[in-house]
Amino acid sequence: MHRLKVISGHLSSSGSPRYTRDVRRTECGSAPGSSPQDVVVVHGRRTAIGKAKRGAFKDTTPDELLSAVMRAVLADVGLPPDRLGDVCVGNVLQPGAGAVMARVAHFLSGFPDTVPCYTVNRQCSSGLQAVFNIAGAIRSGSIDLGLACGVESMSLGEMGNPGDLSSRLTEVDRARDCMIPMGITSENIAERFGVSREKQDAFAVSSQQKAARAQSLGLFEREIVPVTTRVQDAEGSERVVTVSRDEGVRAGTTVAGLSKLRPAFKPDGTTTAGNSSQVSDGAAAVLIGRRAAVEALGLPVLGVLRASAVVGVPPDLMGIGPAVAIPAALEQAGLTVADIDVFEINEAFASQVVYCVEKLGIPLEKVNPNGGAIALGHPLGCTGARQVVTLLNELRRRGTRAYGVVSMCIGTGMGAAAVFEYPGP
Distance (Å, rounded) from C-alpha 3 to C-alpha 156?
10
User: At 202, which helix (H) or strand (E)?
Assistant: helix 197-216
CB atoms within 10 A of CB 173: 11
Q: Which residues contact 56 (CB under 8 A, 6 or more apart)?
A: 48, 50, 229, 231, 241, 243, 247
Nearest to 282, CA basis, from 74, 88, 93, 78: 93
Give yes or no: 43 in active site.
no
List, as own/partner pairs, every contact residues 192-198 make where C-beta atoms lie below 8 angstroms and the sequence separation is at least 24, other chains included: 192/317, 193/355, 195/270, 195/350, 195/351, 195/354, 195/355, 196/270, 197/259, 197/270, 198/255
Q: Which of 43, 117, 356, 378 is catalytic?
A: 378
Taking CA atoms, 254 is separated from 134, 250, 251, 261, in Å, by: 41, 10, 9, 12
The verdict on whether 409 is a catalytic residue reads: yes
Q: Is 282 helix (H, G, I), strand (E, B) or coil?
A: strand
Catalytic residue, candidates 124, 149, 356, 382: 124
Burial class of 363 by CB neighbour count within 10 A (0 to 12, 13 to 18, 19+): exposed
117 is catalytic: no
Task: Provide the 3-class DSSP secondary structure of residue 293.
Answer: helix
Residue 277's nearest CA partner among 365, 193, 377 is 377
Q: Which residues are catalytic?
A: 124, 378, 409
